[in-house]
Chains A and B, each alone.
Chain A
Amino acid sequence: MKLPLIFIQVLLFCSSLCSQTTISGVVLDNKEMPIIGANIFLANTYDGSITEADGSFSFTTSVEGEQKMVITYLGYETKEVKGDVSTMSNLRIKLRESAMALDAVEITASTFKAGDNSKVAVLKPLDVVTTAGSMGDNIAALQTLPGTTSNAEDGRLFVRGGDARETRIYIDGLKVFTPYSRSIGGTPQRGRYSPFLFKGLSFSTGGYSAAYGQALSGILDMNTTDNPAQTETNLSLMSVGLGIGHTQKWDKNSLSLSASYIDLTPYYWIVPTRLEVSSPFRGFSGETVYRHKINDGLIKWYVAGEYARIRVAQYDLDLDRDQDVSIDNYNIYSNTSMTKLLTDKTSIQTGFSAGINKDQLRLEDIEVDSELSGLNARLAFKTIVNDHFIINYGTDFMFQEDVFESKILSSNNIFDGTVNRTITGNFVESDYFFNKNTAIKLGLRGEYASLLKKYELSPRITLAQKLNDNSQVSAAWGMFTQEVDSEFLFYDEGVRNERAQHFLMNYNFKTDQQIFRVEAYYKKYDRLLTYTDGQFVLENINNDGNGKAYGLDVFWRADQKIKNLDFWISYGWLVNERKYLNYPEFATPPFSTTHNLSVVTKRFFSKIKSQVSLTYQFSSGRPYENPNTNGFLNERSNEFNNLSFSWAYLISQQKILFVSASNFPGFRNSYGSRYGSTPDVNGIFPSELIRPNEDRFFFIGFFMTLSEDKMKNQLDNL
């Protein structure tokens, strides 16, 4: 009987008093400064403490033997120390600042982000749609950022001396084959996809990640909304058309449907236009997004379809009369993507996009049909090896078929062609943080092009160094390649990929209230496509061209620096010379302007419940070719000025009235002159000034949301 009693006594005694070990020490950062308030404890026990003002800590424990001690502190890497508790006294513990911390150095030069990641966001989620002059087109809003040259009559993105085709557009990491809506007769093209499908975007004007290929100048990747907040119906009534949308939300699934009809007919009754419009732009479009939540992940399926038609009479200088031109466009695009956490450290992103685009162009007796079918598939992984080392790797595949047929209807003369090709890419990219202040990104991309039967490597590197709490510098170098347009591949499938090298230096300053960045760049092009004009066809198609572009981009944004005012100023200086296409000599291409300035302001007036925005844009003269003078592309157009205004009035939480006017002072802009192809009897080529179809553009819209939650409105749709 004695034995169990002792047993009990020992147990009871021990559980309260026996072997109380004191654990003590000090917690420091890498500069030997004490860390105050770090949480320090033995794993799976209650025993622990936090550090004092001098970084010291001390607590007692009754556990014995091998234990794991854990030290955590906000913004620092969690540290674990294993050992026998009896040895855990007078410890010196050093914590490393986490490279994942919010204030760590960023290794993304040249990238502008919008969205919810406040660490790198330069634009706020709504900026894309509340910027005056953007007319609800996210592409137009991006043209207020430095590094872009705004070509108002074209509408597409031109980045740092590159052609519009050199900037590739992606949705959720998957290629968009025909991102712009079709237009003719000098009406600017618009982004095809409605901005309110996206929660954020990443726009890179150089030195981008090895995850992206087939782009010489820029990348725009837009991310669709992961999860709609609630079930709701949206209605819009606009001076240019009607729209309706509905989102239904269930527990793990959600479905959004939207449809719109755009018709410019009533608009032209009121606003005069220079364009002889026989049938103004009319288009139907519809979009569907289905999202399904899975364990630790999400599947999204997005499909959009559009039909549009426009018919105008366009003056032809050679014929000295109007020509009847029409275009019918059919477009379908689908995008399916999945993101999922595979393990604690590895996530997968995979999906595919498919697109079909058909254009039917009629120019009196000539009919041109072109059809594009494309597929892009992608499998990518991200592994966070530890707090200092991240690897991204994966593979992508693209198939594209272009069919082209040009007919002269009266003689039934047909010229046609088909080109098919695949491009397979592989990439690996690592981010390594030496510490919170210094980081390097090393990337390598390989691509195999089926037409060339060649595998080509493009290495890329970015270095970033934080100077102090608010500023950092970074430098980047990279090689980028892109296949030539299909219209040239019809002639010769052996044309090599064009190539560009980017050299960048970036300085970035950021506080809560303002962002300032300046970036110098130098781009070297080689293997650019060249040809000579034959009598009927192109001849001597080759890769003999080259060029260079260099310049400086400045961006300054401040919010509340002036009370209630949010503004940004972008300035871009660009020198661009190339010899490509059929250029007889080095010249600055017509889409390239030396000075580019944008000033965007936004102010909310609480008293009148209105957000008012003003945008001013300026660019210096555009080059154009005058065959009546010597030299090539020597002439310069007038400077471009545009002042736009928008006013959003919140009638109630669910009703908004939106009014906007582009170029309301009516600056007389022109984009150079176009010339006839044959000189008149005096040997002079006839000419015509290229002017926008309308000097001003007005828009009025009324937007309404029907939902259970009465606070949601459509401000983010504007």
Chain B
Amino acid sequence: MMKNIILVLSLIVTSLVFAQAQGQYESGMQQAFKLWEDKKPVESVALFERIGQAEPKKWQPLYYAAQFLIVQTFQDGKMTIEDKSLLLEKAKEIIANAHKRSPDNSEIWTLEGLLYTGYVAMDPNTYGMMYTSKIMGLHAKAVELNPNNPRAHANQIEYEMGGARFFKQDLAPFCERLKKVLPMFDQQELKEPFDPSRGKERVEEVIKSCSQ
């Protein structure tokens, strides 16, 4: 009798502790997203990094830490090249770590494409020619791993549009391709909580600008 009670109790305790840990992960991630939405990028990235080191099996916190580092370099107009390089270097490190945790993950390859797009956006003269084909290769790899990854398709098409704008080519075919990507956003199957799912709004905006 006593044995059984202890067994039941210890099961309860374990599941409590487990539930708490799970709850901690979820609330931590949500808090980090909230910080980002509240325009506190440094705090947000720091929290994702903390979660990333406390949860050595999860790649998602690292994914967002790196993504938000890269996105800052696109958004912050006041940043110097030196500052941006620091953020991108750090993102590069985090992405390498994320690859180790989740090899052959289409989302991480897409993110690496975004990283080098960040370099090109920062200093097109230096990095444009150097990284263009690398970015293409990263997107291709991401699509190969998951042909229905809408972010991999969208980032690739947007990058190609940059070149087409330069050569003053017709953008309509790119918009047609983007329209085909839209349904992929609705068909995403999220295996784990916080798997990347965003990007639809961005694609819709670009499509809108096409028709103008």
On A, residues with C-beta under 8 Å from B are: 1, 4, 7-8, 11-12, 15, 37, 39, 41, 43-46, 48, 50, 70, 72, 74-75, 101-103, 116, 118, 121, 124-126, 228-230, 249, 512, 559-560, 566, 606, 609, 650, 652-653, 708-712, 715-716
B133 touches A709 (CB 8 A): yes
A709 touches B136 (CB 8 A): yes
A712 touches B136 (CB 8 A): yes
Question: Pick the contact of A711 from B42, B53, B127, B163 — CB < 8 Å?
Answer: B163
Question: How far is it, in angstroms, between the C-alpha of A606 and the C-alpha of B163 when the chains are bound?
Answer: 12
The answer, yes or no, to whether B129 is at the interface (CB within 8 Å) is: yes
On B, residues with C-beta under 8 Å from A are: 5-6, 9, 12-13, 16-17, 20, 24, 28, 42-43, 46, 49-51, 53-54, 80-82, 85-87, 89-90, 123, 125-127, 129-130, 132-134, 136-137, 140, 159-160, 163, 166-167
Q: Decide: A712 near B133, CB < 8 A? Known: A15-B17, A50-B43, A102-B82.
A: yes
Which residues on A sit within 8 Å (CB–CB) of B123?
A: 118
How far does the Cβ of A7 sit from chain B's closest Cβ, in whole Å?
7
Chain A residue at smallest Cβ distance from B1:
A1
A715 touches B133 (CB 8 A): no
Question: How far is it, in angstroms, between the C-alpha of A249 and the C-alpha of B90 when the chains are bound?
Answer: 29
Question: Pick the contact of B53 from A44, A249, A715 — CB < 8 Å?
Answer: A44
Question: How far is it, in angstroms, between the C-alpha of A609 and the C-alpha of B12 when the chains are bound?
Answer: 70
How far does the Cβ of B29 sit from chain A's closest Cβ, in whole Å?
10
Chain B residue at smallest Cβ distance from A606:
B166
A12 touches B16 (CB 8 A): yes
Question: Pick the contact of A230 from B12, B81, B137 — CB < 8 Å?
Answer: B137
Question: How far is it, in angstroms, between the C-alpha of A653 and the C-alpha of B133 when the chains are bound?
Answer: 12
A39 touches B46 (CB 8 A): yes
Q: Decide: A653 near B87, CB < 8 A? Known: A41-B53, A230-B140.
A: no
Which residues on B sit within 8 Å (CB–CB) of A652?
A: 167
Which residues on A sit within 8 Å (CB–CB) of B132?
A: 711-712
B167 touches A15 (CB 8 A): no
B129 touches A126 (CB 8 A): yes
Q: Decide: A8 near B87, CB < 8 A? Known: A46-B28, A709-B133, A711-B163.
A: no
Chain B residue at smallest Cβ distance from A126:
B129
Question: Pick the contact of A229 from B125, B127, B134, B163 — CB < 8 Å?
Answer: B134
How far does the Cβ of B160 sit from chain A's closest Cβ, in whole Å?
6
Q: Decide: A8 near B9, CB < 8 A? Known: A559-B125, A712-B133.
A: yes
A-B residue pairs, 8 tightest by C-beta: A229-B133, A39-B46, A229-B137, A709-B136, A37-B42, A711-B163, A50-B46, A74-B86
Chain B residue at smallest Cβ distance from A513:
B81
How far does the Cβ of A117 sit from chain B's closest Cβ, in whole Å?
11
Chain A residue at smallest Cβ distance from B20:
A15
How far does the Cβ of A609 sit from chain B's closest Cβ, in whole Å?
7
Question: How far is it, in angstroms, between the C-alpha of A8 and the C-alpha of B17 when the chains are bound?
Answer: 12
Which residues on B sit within 8 Å (CB–CB) of A609?
A: 166-167
Question: How far is it, in angstroms, between the C-alpha of A102 and the C-alpha of B122 when the chains are bound?
Answer: 16
Which residues on B sit within 8 Å (CB–CB) of A46?
A: 24, 28, 50-51, 54
A711 touches B136 (CB 8 A): yes
Which residues on A sit within 8 Å (CB–CB) of B20?
A: 15
Question: How far is it, in angstroms, between the C-alpha of A650 and the C-alpha of B53 when the chains are bound?
Answer: 48
A7 touches B80 (CB 8 A): no
B133 touches A230 (CB 8 A): yes
Q: Decide: A103 near B82, CB < 8 A? Known: A126-B129, A652-B167, A712-B132.
A: yes
How far does the Cβ of A509 sit from chain B's closest Cβ, in whole Å?
15
Which residues on A sit within 8 Å (CB–CB) of B46?
A: 37, 39, 48, 50
Chain A residue at smallest Cβ distance from B49:
A39
How far does the Cβ of B161 sit from chain A's closest Cβ, in whole Å?
10
B42 touches A50 (CB 8 A): yes
Question: How far is it, in angstroms, between the C-alpha of A450 and the C-alpha of B20 when the chains are bound?
Answer: 72
Which residues on A sit within 8 Å (CB–CB) of B51?
A: 46
Which residues on A sit within 8 Å (CB–CB) of B129?
A: 125-126, 715-716
Most buried by A among B17, B134, B137: B137
A-B contact pairs, 23 of them (CB 8 A): A37-B46, A44-B53, A48-B46, A48-B50, A50-B46, A74-B86, A74-B90, A118-B85, A118-B123, A124-B126, A125-B130, A228-B133, A229-B137, A230-B133, A230-B136, A512-B80, A559-B125, A609-B166, A652-B167, A711-B133, A711-B136, A712-B132, A712-B136
